[in-house]
Structure 1
């Protein structure tokens, strides 16, 4: 049986490099997307490739990582640097992706693109986690998943379509085969109470959690 091959994709969003993030990327191979190389040292990672147009990369960062092989692309292109890095990881055999620095940052459009891209990648059969250190997200497609989140963590389910038959267990406000309209706020701001399981009969969504934020408990 082929074992999972994990790649950490270093993106340009915000990152709090805590122990939870370091555990996620432990043993992973890494590819940096443009300014995402700034996260490499804090996580103890040495990317095997650096891709992008390098329009958001500081000169000192380029100098510090001059030994990392680069794939340079023009600024006017049809793909984001993050998407290029992801596709390169898949070409190298990735079955699991940790998108580091996937939230916040200077570009809301890029953050939204990362969230939507994660869902489409999950539909292609890849296992994904998105993280900023303060927030984590995993795609939720028809089927079920169990999440390792501390009790008291705030969590939400963000739908990218109408959701049919959504069930949530191990949370303060459980659901049992609920139908949720696209854009409805019913699945925002729940609280993890124990081992959490989410299942879905139809639709596409993300489970978004704040593992260190217990203010809702």
Structure 2
């Protein structure tokens, strides 16, 4: 095995200006206008088979990372001009995690994980969420998207979201939550303490200026920006 990759991919000091990166992962993806708008000004890194999304997104990655065990041979030829960083399959990090560390090394403050939460590998989707939690605790903002669903990390503090009016969202607690406040939604809460496993905050509807505040704990918010409720 290749050991200690993380020790060789050291996070550099961040610049004063936020840098946005999109990392193309090998999960399922539906191309939407919202997704195209979100990644428009991002620098692009492809992770192994995630390169398959580049054509539909009309982007050219600046870097392609992986062991290339999930990349079709025709894609290897099509994108042969892109700079590659190759690893052996027997390594101690996934291709996606290596790509995210590379984005951090290049100064990323905001990262969009494209194709991160849908596909045949739930284990990888869950790992992407845990990595997003780690990044959020390091003051790195991460959005995970399948095109039709978006996932964000919630940690103590105030969070604002620009979800389309009447779109569905759910908050899933990853621990016990203290003093959760939700405004700008159909179902509001004020200083609510919620236990791990509670479904109280599933299937809400965004209204105006959705704001979420919590004092303790962590959660994820999953939105469906194209799933609009008309009531």
Which category of TM-score, normalised to the shorter sequence, fits these structures? over 0.9
User: Are 2:53 and 1:32 aligned?
Assistant: no
2:125 to 100, 111, 115: 111
Which position in structure 1 is the counterpart of 2:106?
92
CA deviations over 1:10-33 (Å, ceiling 9, x no partner): 011111111100111111101011
1:66 to 77, 80, 85: 80
Please state how far the C-alpha of 1:77 moved relative to its aligned partner: 1.4
> TM-score w.r.t. structure 1 length?
0.96
Unaligned runs of 5+ in 2: 1-14
CA contact (8 A) 1:153 1:216 kept: no
CA deviations over 1:43-65 (Å, ceiling 9, x no partner): 12111111111111111111110
In structure 1, how many angstroms separate the alpha carbons of the residues matched to 2:97 and 2:67?
12
Q: Helix, strand or coil: the match of 1:212?
A: strand
1:150 to 164, 187, 207: 164
Q: Which runs of 4+ in 1 moved over 6 A?
A: none
Number of equivalences: 217
Which position in structure 2 is the counterpart of 1:191?
205
Which position in structure 2 is the counterpart of 1:4?
18
Please state how far the C-alpha of 1:119 moved relative to its aligned partner: 1.0
User: Are 2:134 and 1:120 aligned?
Assistant: yes
In structure 1, how many angstroms separate the alpha carbons of the residues matched to 2:230 and 2:74?
41
In structure 1, how many angstroms separate the alpha carbons of the residues matched to 2:17 and 2:49?
30
> TM-score w.r.t. structure 2 length?
0.91
Which position in structure 2 is the counterpart of 1:44?
58
1:82 to 96, 114, 117: 96
CA contact (8 A) 2:205 2:229 kept: no
In structure 1, how many angstroms separate the alpha carbons of the residues matched to 2:75 and 2:196?
42
In structure 1, how many angstroms separate the alpha carbons of the residues matched to 2:208 and 2:41?
28
Please state how far the C-alpha of 1:126 moved relative to its aligned partner: 0.5
CA contact (8 A) 1:156 1:187 kept: yes
Q: Helix, strand or coil: the match of 1:31?
A: strand
RMSD: 1.3
